């Protein structure tokens, strides 16, 4: 089943975030998958039964795009679900796509260019943000070390739809090799989640997701996290402080590799399987060894039943994977074991409070 349908100066209106404690992404025994019917094959409908899934309305994400079915070399157009605010110099490509026959390509050269893709949403009270993508950066000239790279970020608080204050960003500062996952603000500096020393798969595809919950102003109930491959890290008890310009200045946006400084450095940027939403409720599959996480595309959602358009990604037929449902509070269900290309197998053990679903 298929649906159709630059830079970021920090504003004084930015929302300030302070870190108090750290945590992980936890499973919850009250969110339980009891059965799955259907075949885990591309575009096939999976029906997930269980308890405690909560509410997701509308069920579809704000953005989903696998870039299939378009003319190679033409500018990026309408995604499968949603729309883009900026596509820059990004075109459709057939060079080594992550899955299927298409991905995107952005040439990053020592001249002005706008790599990557930007999806925005405007509801002022969109407190939650989620973004996921597959990406590949191939250096073609120069050294990546001196350059500022914003791989993926969730923005807040700026009425200008071409910018926005990056609330949560995975990127690399100038002069460094290592990448950080950082919660930014204009007034009180940054707080960090665990990062990585370099691209997990240099010159090959990488899988990454980020999420944030801004919480109640001046109350320590916000959180933010990231997932790189199968590795999950989340920071909790974040205070969202209300600025003088007002809470949530009007823009929530997802930037998919929206900025790489260019002087003296050339690279080829490829993107695939981009997904964004204003809720943390979602369905994923991961390998039992914690491999790449693949987004499943919801088509209906109730507290005890979900239907998704299946997307096994790079997992080949015969591979056993774990299907996991997250509710809007980012609590995870028990893993449900499935085999790609066939039907369901069996539910895993229920979650245990305080225990990470995976490291």
Q: What is the DSSP letter of 318?
A: T
- Which candidate, 174, 193, 197, places its Cα nearest to that of 182? 193
- pLDDT truncated to tens, each residue of the chain (359 aa)? 333 332 222 222 233 333 323 233 467 888 999 999 999 999 999 999 999 999 999 999 999 999 999 999 999 988 999 988 888 889 999 999 999 999 999 887 755 556 678 887 765 567 888 999 999 888 887 777 777 777 888 876 544 444 445 567 777 777 666 777 766 543 343 555 555 666 666 678 988 898 888 777 667 777 888 888 767 777 777 666 555 334 444 567 788 886 676 566 778 889 999 999 999 999 999 886 666 889 999 999 999 999 999 999 999 999 999 999 999 989 999 999 999 997 555 554 443 333 333 32
The answer to whether 151 and 171 are in contact (CB under 8 A) is yes
Question: Residue 233: what pLDDT?
Answer: 77
pTM (2 d.p.): 0.83
Question: Residue 105: what pLDDT?
Answer: 92
Question: Is the torsion defined by CA of 138, 140, 146, 150 positive or negative?
Answer: negative
Phi, psi of 221 (to 5 degrees): -130, 20
Question: Residue 347: what pLDDT?
Answer: 54
In a domain, residue 80? The reply is: yes
In a domain, residue 198? The reply is: yes
- Total tally of structural domains belonging to the chain: 1
C-alpha to C-alpha distances, 180 to 198, 203, 227, 256, 288, nearest whole angstrom: 10, 19, 13, 16, 26
The answer to whether 1 and 45 are in contact (CB under 8 A) is yes
Paired strand residues for 141: 266
Question: Residue 160: what pLDDT?
Answer: 45
The total number of residues shown for the chain amounts to 359
H/E segment holding residue 353? none
Which domain range does residue 46 map to? 16-347
How many CA atoms within 13 Å lie on the side-chain side of 11?
A: 26
In a domain, residue 311? The reply is: yes
Question: Residue 40: what pLDDT?
Answer: 94
Pairing of strands 179-184, 32-37: unpaired
The answer to whether 259 and 108 are in contact (CB under 8 A) is no
- Which candidate, 46, 75, 73, 31, places its Cα nearest to that of 303? 31
List, in order, residues 6 or more apart from 330 with CB less than 8 Å away. Answer: 25, 211, 213, 223, 225, 234, 280
Among left, alpha and beta (phi > 0; psi -120 to 50; other), residue 273 is left
Q: Which long-range contacts (CB under 8 A, 24 or more apart) does 348-354 make?
A: 348/322, 350/27, 350/29, 350/32, 351/26, 351/27, 351/28, 351/29, 351/31, 352/27, 352/29, 353/26, 353/28, 353/29, 354/26
- Which candidate, 130, 138, 73, places its Cα nearest to that of 270? 138
In a domain, residue 168? The reply is: yes
H/E segment holding residue 230? none
The answer to whether 262 and 111 are in contact (CB under 8 A) is yes
Question: Residue 64: what pLDDT?
Answer: 96
In a domain, residue 43? The reply is: yes
CATH code where residue 333 lies: 2.60.120.200
Question: Residue 192: what pLDDT?
Answer: 55
Question: Residue 197: what pLDDT?
Answer: 61
The answer to whether 109 and 240 are in contact (CB under 8 A) is no
């Amino acid at each position: 089943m298929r649906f159709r349908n630059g830079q970021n100066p920090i504003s004084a209106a930015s929302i300030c975030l302070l870190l108090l404690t750290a945590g992980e992404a936890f499973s919850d025994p009250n969110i339980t998958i009891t059965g799955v019917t259907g075949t885990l094959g591309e575009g096939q409908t999976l029906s997930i039964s269980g308890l405690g899934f909560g509410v997701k309305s509308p069920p579809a994400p704000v953005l989903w795009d696998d870039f299939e079915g378009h003319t190679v070399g033409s500018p990026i157009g309408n995604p499968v679900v949603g729309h883009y605010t900026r596509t820059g110099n990004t075109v459709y490509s057939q060079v080594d796509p992550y899955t299927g026959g298409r991905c995107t390509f952005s040439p990053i050269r020592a001249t002005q260019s706008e790599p990557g893709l930007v999806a925005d949403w405007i509801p002022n009270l969109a407190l939650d943000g989620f973004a996921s993508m597959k990406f590949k950066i191939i250096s073609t000239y120069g050294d990546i070390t001196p350059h500022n790279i914003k791989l993926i970020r969730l923005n807040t608080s700026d009425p200008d739809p071409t910018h926005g204050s990056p609330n949560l960003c995975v990127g690399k500062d100038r002069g460094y090799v290592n990448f950080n996952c950082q919660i930014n603000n204009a007034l009180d500096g940054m707080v960090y989640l665990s990062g990585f020393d370099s691209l997990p798969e240099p010159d090959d595809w990488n899988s990454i997701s980020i999420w944030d919950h801004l919480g109640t102003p001046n109350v320590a109930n916000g959180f933010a996290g990231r997932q790189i491959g199968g590795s999950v890290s989340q920071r909790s008890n974040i205070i969202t402080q209300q600025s003088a310009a007002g809470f949530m200045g009007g823009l929530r946006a997802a930037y998919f590799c929206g900025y790489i400084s260019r002087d003296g450095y050339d690279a080829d940027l490829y993107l695939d399987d981009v997904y964004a939403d204003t809720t943390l409720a979602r369905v994923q599959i991961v390998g039992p060894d914690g491999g790449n996480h693949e987004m499943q595309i919801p088509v209906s959602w109730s507290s005890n039943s979900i239907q998704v358009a299946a997307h096994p990604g790079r997992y080949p037929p015969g591979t056993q994977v774990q299907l996991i449902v997250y509710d809007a509070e980012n609590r995870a269900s028990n893993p449900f074991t499935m085999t790609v290309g066939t039907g369901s197998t069996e539910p895993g053990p229920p979650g245990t409070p305080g225990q990470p679903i995976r490291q």
